């Protein structure tokens, strides 16, 4: 009999697995998960970790929510999958209609894909072909912002901050795009305006993660900055793509971050929490005028994209169930309570040596560090304390499931304070 804390598939399988963003020679052995529930991850050795990061920001309702599980079970019994070319089905059409009803303005056409990076790729393709269909062939460049992260595929890598991001290795492979500073002061606003004015003939779109830039360093900007960017795009006739893959579905305090600024982007991208973190699904949503530019007698004016498993019915059923939960349960109130607790509990970190900044937005709490950070050591220390917290770059952050209890969240914030105090003592 294999020992319960060392399953037989572990030794047999590990030599054949390639892990993400991981130096496989030096990385510690990954932890072995056997089940999840609520805000908890159960390991093969019997320990339970409280999840402070919602499995890469997806599990907004916690794990194994019975309502989502029931919806997926019912769906798999009748229609697990069917191709979406020439065929449609209820889960996808219901989901598209519901998303459009929740989104602001005339964001009213949904294109489904299976991952966030591909949702951004589709948004870029929409923007490029929008201008081509309008007879403006030269508009092939994109503006992105310092600290941006928009995905790991090739076109999206070219829109990630080359210094902060993980893709510096590939600079030069893709045609460079234009990196801008976030226009958060009058001087920077003037500079941003000049940038758009100078390049307007070549620009297809500006791409931005609204209010919180995630994987590029958990940087935050205010609604006025977002509004300025949207107005500048309008003034200069450039499309605005908002990447709400991380910010969407309540994470920043509103159901969508763009609502806080009263901004309606031309194209909006969703993924991550779309299915409550249960199944891969992403969506690129276009405004009416964007969709209209693809209507023509010419077949070549159509959007040329179609992932094999697009609009998978299981994933759409999970997303519909997730939207039910946003309707039935007080998710935004939970986010507000998490924000208050994160602010109270993380603010004291500011006094520790080696802490550069503490910031909170919605259910996102960030402690930015100065000086070198031994990521593997910090991650291991958090696991020893019974929490799943995974610092990256120079930030330690918490993005818990919205259903986390006050006590569980307190265990997370106490662990962050403790680990950073230990680090401060070593500096």
Ligand X SMILES: *Cc1c(COP(=O)(O)O)cnc(C)c1O
- Interacting residues toward ligand X by CB under 6 A: 115-117, 120, 149-151, 209, 214-215, 243, 245-246, 271-272
Residue 31 DSSP one-character state? P
Query: Which of the following is catalytic: 63, 130, 149, 397?
Result: 149
Query: Which of the following is catalytic: 51, 152, 243, 266?
Result: 243
Q: Are 114 and 314 in contact (CB under 8 A)?
A: no
* b/e 125-152 (16+ beta carbons within 10 angstroms → b): bbbbbbbbbeeeeebebbbbbbbbbbbb
User: What's the rounded Cα separation, in Å, for the pair 151 and 165?
Assistant: 10
Q: How far apart are CB 249 and ligand X at their closest, in Å?
A: 12
Given the complex with ligand X, which of 144 and 345 has the nearer CB atom? 144
Given the complex with ligand X, which of 160 and 352 has the nearer CB atom? 160
Q: How far apart are CB 128 and ligand X at their closest, in Å?
A: 18
Q: Is 134 a catalytic residue?
A: no
Residues 6+ apart with CB under 8 A from 149: 160, 161, 164, 165, 209, 213, 214, 215, 216
Query: Which of the following is catalytic: 51, 152, 272, 361?
Result: 272
Q: Is 357 a catalytic residue?
A: no
Given the complex with ligand X, which of 243 and 408 has the nearer CB atom? 243
Given the complex with ligand X, which of 307 and 348 has the nearer CB atom? 307
Q: Is 397 a catalytic residue?
A: no
Closest residue to ligand X using C-beta atoms: 116
Given the complex with ligand X, which of 210 and 354 has the nearer CB atom? 210
User: What's the rounded Cα separation, in Å, for the pair 73 and 226?
Assistant: 40
Residue 375 DSSP one-character state? H
Q: Which of 342, 338, 339, 356 is nearest to 403 (CA)?
A: 338
- Burial (CB < 10 A; 0-12, 13-18, 19+), residue 81, is middle
Q: Are 243 and 207 in contact (CB under 8 A)?
A: yes
Given the complex with ligand X, which of 185 and 308 has the nearer CB atom? 308
Helix (H) or strand (E) holding 10: helix 8-13
Q: How far apart are CB 127 and ligand X at their closest, in Å?
A: 16
Query: Which of the following is catalytic: 21, 297, 407, 426?
Result: 21
Given the complex with ligand X, which of 215 and 364 has the nearer CB atom? 215
Length of the chain in residues, anyone? 427
Q: How far apart are CB 245 and ligand X at their closest, in Å?
A: 4
**If DSSP codes are grouped into helix, strand and coil, which group holds residue 358?**
strand
249: region left, alpha or beta (phi > 0 left; psi from -120 to 50 alpha): left
Q: How far apart are CB 308 and ligand X at their closest, in Å?
A: 16
DSSP one-letter string for 222-275: -HHHHHHHHHHHHHHT-EEEEE-TTTTTTTTSSSSHHHHHT---SEEEE-GGGG
Q: Is 149 a catalytic residue?
A: yes
Name the residues annotated as catalytic: 21, 149, 243, 272
């Amino acid at each position: 009999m294999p020992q319960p804390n060392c399953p037989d598939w572990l030794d047999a399988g590990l030599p054949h697995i390639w892990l993400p963003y991981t130096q496989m020679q030096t990385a510690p052995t990954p932890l072995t998960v056997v089940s999840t529930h609520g805000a908890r991850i159960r390991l093969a050795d019997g320990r339970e970790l409280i999840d402070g990061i919602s499995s890469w920001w997806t599990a907004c309702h916690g794990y194994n929510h019975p309502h989502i599980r029931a919806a997926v079970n019912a769906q798999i019994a009748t229609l697990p999958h069917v191709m979406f070319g020439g065929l449609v089905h209820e889960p996808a059409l219901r989901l598209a209609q519901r998303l459009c009803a929740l989104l602001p303005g005339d964001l009213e056409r949904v294109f489904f894909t299976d991952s966030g990076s591909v949702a951004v790729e589709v948004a870029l393709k929409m923007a490029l072909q929008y201008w081509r269909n309008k007879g403006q062939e030269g508009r092939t460049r994109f503006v992105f912002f310092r600290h941006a992260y928009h995905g790991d595929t090739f076109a999206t890598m070219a829109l990630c901050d080359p210094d902060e991001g993980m893709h510096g290795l590939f600079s030069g492979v893709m045609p460079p795009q234009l990196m801008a500073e976030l226009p958060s002061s009058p001087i920077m606003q003037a500079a941003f305006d000049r940038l758009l004015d100078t390049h307007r003939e070549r620009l297809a779109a500006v791409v931005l993660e609204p209010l919180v830039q995630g994987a590029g360093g958990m940087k935050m900007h205010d609604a006025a900055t977002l509004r300025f960017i949207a107005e500048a795009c309008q003034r200069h006739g450039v499309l605005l793509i908002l990447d709400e893959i991380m910010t969407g579905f309540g994470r920043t305090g509103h159901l969508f971050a763009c609502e806080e600024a009263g901004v309606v982007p031309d194209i909006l991208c969703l993924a991550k929490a779309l299915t409550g973190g249960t199944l891969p699904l992403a969506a690129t949503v276009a405004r009416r005028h964007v969709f209209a530019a693809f209507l023509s007698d010419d077949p070549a004016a159509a959007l040329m994209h179609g992932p094999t498993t697009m609009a998978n019915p299981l994933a759409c059923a999970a997303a519909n169930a997730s939207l039910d939960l946003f309707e039935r349960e007080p998710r935004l109130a939970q986010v507000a309570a998490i924000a208050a607790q994160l602010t109270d509990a993380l603010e004291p970190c500011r006094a520790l040596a080696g802490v550069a900044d503490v910031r909170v937005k919605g259910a996102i709490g960030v402690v930015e560090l100065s000086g070198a950070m031994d990521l593997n050591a910090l991650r291991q220390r958090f696991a020893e304390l019974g929490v799943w917290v995974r610092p990256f770059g120079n930030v330690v952050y918490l993005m818990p499931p919205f259903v986390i209890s006050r006590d569980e969240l307190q265990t997370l914030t106490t662990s962050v304070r403790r680990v950073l105090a230990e680090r401060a003592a070593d500096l």
